[in-house]
Amino acid sequence: MTPSTDRNQQLFDLARKLIPGGVNSPVRAFRAVGGTPRFVQRAQGAYFWDANGQRYIDYIGSWGPMILGHGHPAVLEAVQKAVVDGFSFGAPTEREVELAQQIIDLVPSIEMVRLVSSGTEAAMSAIRLARGATGRSKFIKFEGCYHGHADALLVKAGSGLATFGNPTSAGVPPEVVQHTLVLEYNNIEQLEEAFSLHGPELACLMIEPIAGNMNFVRASVPFMKRCRELCTQHGALLVFDEVMTGFRVALGGAQSVYARAIPGFKPDLSVMGKVIGGGMPLAAFGGPRAIMEQLAPMGPVYQAGTLSGNPVATACGLATLKEISKPGFFDALAGKTTSLVSGLKAAAVAEGIAFCADCEGGMFGFFLLPELPQNYAQVMKSDSARFNLLFHGLLDRGIYIAPALYEAGFVSSAHSDADIAQTVASAREVFAHLAAGSVAKMPDA
């Protein structure tokens, strides 16, 4: 396609003059993989169409929310009805109560919940609550886990465990991250050392239980068990960031997956987002009554939002949760994801490509590596040039996966066996090109 007829390119050129980088969230800009971002015109089921009218099988689903695929009829109807009754009131509504009840019914560790508008807001508020409830300032996060872009969470590891983190973004003063301790994921020894050095000062440990922001890396069961034990022992709260995994890897989230392996396991606080809004701006955080009652207006920890519990977003979230709560939903979804992942593995083996993959529920990840990485440094050993060829090879064949090797993938209930078979066949073609060392097709910019 020549630049003069490529509508994606035209829109991107215009967008870059008006919006920094042409996008409203960095990864959309294709910086990691090169080429022109696809501007989405519309979507239905497992597909979206770009500005040139080209169709793609969508394995991002808005980075997780679209677990039912795009334009699910029951969700569409709920949203259409809600819109007619009003967009936003700044006063409470019945649907907020219904959604709170739904969340509490589905996630046993949550007794009370507060609704907000984004995962960033939910994670930031959960940290504030943990600090307020414990009267402590310091907290632990792990390298490669993303918890939104609140200042204190934009931090990478410092030079040692006695020192705290360094900002990963300009505009974050070092003092703001001086209480954030960044540890290696799945490293029990480091975890124990951190607690022995800082235990009495730690408000919480925040973790993505199955990390989806460094592709797909599970916290090992022994590691998770140790996180729970050390938090309990030192009076720090265990905060699960389930913005991605909540209602996605299982109906009860990743915490239900760990509870199967560790009897009685539960986190103290949970942060939810993405699926909970079904594609609308909605997120939440929740936990035991005694902790949640520390929030304003009951308690001293301030938290608020003009659009929190928005009536259209709650209608969308409720309709989505209702569909995914139907018997057999997650078994069917997990079946699709497993067949995609095993198909990709078989295709890679057939073409002699080093490849590994993992999945849970409707979330998956794969690596051009011989074995599954356990932490961020290992993820970053992936060959990004080869990943970029795979990405563009698939894109050229109408398959849209995350445009960066450190992102997870998502299957929806709308993906058909034929979509998955087509994806696997396309991947095999691209693997064959990779194996032959030939460049499938270079990015077009």
Ligand X SMILES: *Cc1c(COP(=O)(O)O)cnc(C)c1O
Judged by the rule CB under 6 A, the positions of this chain that interact with ligand X are 118-120, 123, 146-148, 208, 212-213, 241, 243-244, 273, 283
Least Cβ distance, residue 209 to ligand X (angstroms) = 9
| C-beta closer to ligand X: residue 212 or 317 | 212
Question: Least distance to ligand X from the beta carbon of 200, Å?
Answer: 27
Q: In angstroms, what is the minimal distance from the CB of 343 to ligand X?
A: 25
Strands 283-287, 112-116: pairing is antiparallel
Q: Please say which residue, 412 or 426, places its beta carbon nearer to ligand X.
A: 412
Q: What is the nearest approach in angstroms of ligand X to the Cβ of residue 442?
A: 31
Nearer to ligand X, 161 or 404 (CB): 404
CA distances from 382 to 124, 267, 353, 378, 386 (A): 31, 32, 13, 8, 9
Distances (CA, A) of 298 to 6, 68, 294, 368: 55, 37, 6, 51
148 closest CA partner among 106, 201, 206: 206
In sequence order, the 6+-apart residues with CB closer than 8 A to the CB of 196 are none
Name the residue with tokens 């993303």.
146
Is 274 part of the annotated catalytic residue set? yes
Q: What minimum distance in Å lies between the beta carbon of 340 and ligand X? A: 20
Out of 47, 56, 59, 146, the active site residue is 146
Q: Is 241 tagged catalytic?
A: yes
336 labelled catalytic: no
- Minimum CB separation of residue 4 from ligand X in Å reads 35
Q: Are 272 and 246 in contact (CB under 8 A)?
A: yes
User: Looking at beta carbons only, is 362 or 393 nearer to ligand X?
Assistant: 362
State the residue number with the nearest CB to ligand X: 119
- Minimum gap (Å) between residue 73 Cβ and ligand X: 25
Burial (0-12, 13-18, 19+ Cβ within 10 Å), 15: middle
Which CB, 280 or 341, lies closer to ligand X?
280
In the bound state with ligand X, the residue whose beta carbon lies nearer, of 124 and 440, is: 124
Distance CA 375, CA 389 (A): 24
Task: Give the pairing of strands 237-242 and 269-272.
Answer: parallel
Instruction: Write the burial class of residue 373 (CB in 10 Å: 0-12 exposed, 13-18 middle, 19+ buried).
Output: buried
CA neighbor of 344 nearest in space, from 334, 358, 332 = 358
CB nearer ligand X, residue 273 or residue 365: 273
Shortest distance, CB of residue 282 to ligand X, whole angstroms? 9
* CA 270/CA 248 separation, integer angstroms: 14
Do you know the residue count of the chain? 445
CB 246 → ligand X: shortest distance, Å? Answer: 9
Q: Rounded distance, CA 200 to CA 202, Å?
A: 6
**Which is nearer to ligand X, 401 or 420 (by Cβ)?**
401
Q: Which is nearer to ligand X, 246 or 311 (CB)?
A: 246
Residue in 50, 58, 241, 268 annotated catalytic:
241
Q: Which of 138, 141, 266, 274 is catalytic?
A: 274
The answer to whether the CB of 241 falls within 8 A of the CB of 150 is no
State the catalytic residues: 146, 241, 274
